[in-house]
Amino acid sequence: MSLLNQLFNRGLLGAKCKTCLTLAISRIKLLQNKRDGQLKLMRKEIAQFLQAGQEAIARIRVEHVIREQNIWAAYEILEMFCEFILARVPILESQRECPAELREAVASIIFAAPRCSDLPDLLHVRNLFAAKYGKEFISAASELRPDTSVNRTIIEKLSVSAPSPEVKLNTLNEIAAEFNVIWDSSKTEAEFSKKPEDLLNGPKPIAALPQAHLRPDTREDPSSQEHSTISTSGKQGNQYFQPTTPLVAPSIIEPLVNDHNVEPVTDIKNTNSQSSEVLLRARTAIAAAERASAAARAAAQLVNVSSLKVENLD
């Protein structure tokens, strides 16, 4: 009974594989015809951009053209491999291990199936190979292990990396020559030769602007030596009022202000007059405080006298 099941499954596997391979070949041919028309239109548009001097747009569009050309080349190789395996399906069924002459074709289809979304039939073929040869064989081909035989052109054409500047420049030159466009490629070559900026290290530091060295004026203001005497509750003390003086000499500040066209907030020449006004106000406040203190002492004495009289009467 097991022998009959094995024979039945073997025939079923071969039939499914033939059907999926036939559908994949037909789909590849349809996609190739459609992609041919799209590539011709895209190359014509790039030639028009080059002729109009819009090289920046042409440099962007050419990457899409290169990618479509790579897919077209990969599909062409996959079509050949599908036809090769389709002709040797009986050999795959008769042998338990993958034959050496079919290893490259089988491994290439296993590698390309998940990367070709337009060809769902290849995924079915990949699943059939997984059922026959095991998951380890599928993993080795998908991960490009050293013992696999995946076609190198398939790996290169299905790569998702951006094309090199040399490839883009050669493609632009081919398009210009195809449509007889007179185009100077020196600007594009200079653009491709530029190294990409390193944006991870942040912006470049800006050189510091030269700053004027300001020296404080060490000359003493004679008005700062004035002082006043404050007497409170029988105790006298001296307190010195020092006006605010500029830390920088006017001869140094005025040229800097004139150079930067900024008007000074205060007039430095009137500093002495302002300090004298501050002293006058302080003296007036001190005199008022002394009068208030004297009035408070007189009131306290009156309170003491009245309290003594009340005690004597009692």
pLDDT band at 81 (very low <50, low <70, confident <90, very high): very high
Overall average pLDDT of the 261-285 stretch: 65
| 212 φ/ψ sector (left φ>0, alpha ψ -120 to 50, else beta) | beta
Overall average pLDDT of the 55-67 stretch: 93
Please report whether residue 206 resides in a domain.
no
pLDDT of residue 294: 85
Q: What tens digit of pLDDT does each residue of 87-140 get?
A: 999 999 899 899 999 999 999 999 999 999 999 999 999 999 999 999 999 999
pTM for this structure? Answer: 0.59
pLDDT of residue 309: 62
Please report whether residue 209 resides in a domain.
no
pLDDT of residue 112: 96
Query: In whole angstroms, what is the distance from residue 103 CA to residue 100 CA?
Result: 5
User: Which of 172, 193, 214 is the last residue in one of the domains?
Assistant: 193
Of 139-143, 174-178, 307-311, minimum mean pLDDT range: 307-311
Please report whether residue 72 resides in a domain.
yes
Q: How many domains does the chain have?
A: 2
pLDDT of residue 218: 47
Count CB neighbours of 307 within 10 A. Answer: 10
Q: Say yes or no to pLDDT of 270 above 70.
A: no
Q: Say yes or no to pLDDT of 216 above 60.
A: no
Please report whether residue 212 resides in a domain.
no
Query: In whole angstroms, what is the distance from residue 65 CA to residue 141 CA?
Result: 28
Count CB neighbours of 175 within 10 A. Answer: 23
Mean pLDDT of the chain: 77
Please report whether residue 211 resides in a domain.
no
Q: Do 41 and 114 reside in the same domain of the chain?
A: yes
Overall average pLDDT of the 167-171 stretch: 93
pLDDT band at 301 (very low <50, low <70, confident <90, very high): confident
pLDDT of residue 213: 46
Please report whether residue 216 resides in a domain.
no
pLDDT of residue 204: 55
Please report whether residue 203 resides in a domain.
no
% of the chain exceeding 90 in pLDDT? 47
Containing domain of residue 177, as a range?
2-193
Q: What tens digit of pLDDT does each residue of 236-260 get?
A: 444 434 444 444 444 544 544 454 4
Q: Do 188 and 40 reside in the same domain of the chain?
A: yes
Exposed/middle/buried for residue 206 (C-beta within 10 Å: 0-12, 13-18, 19+): exposed
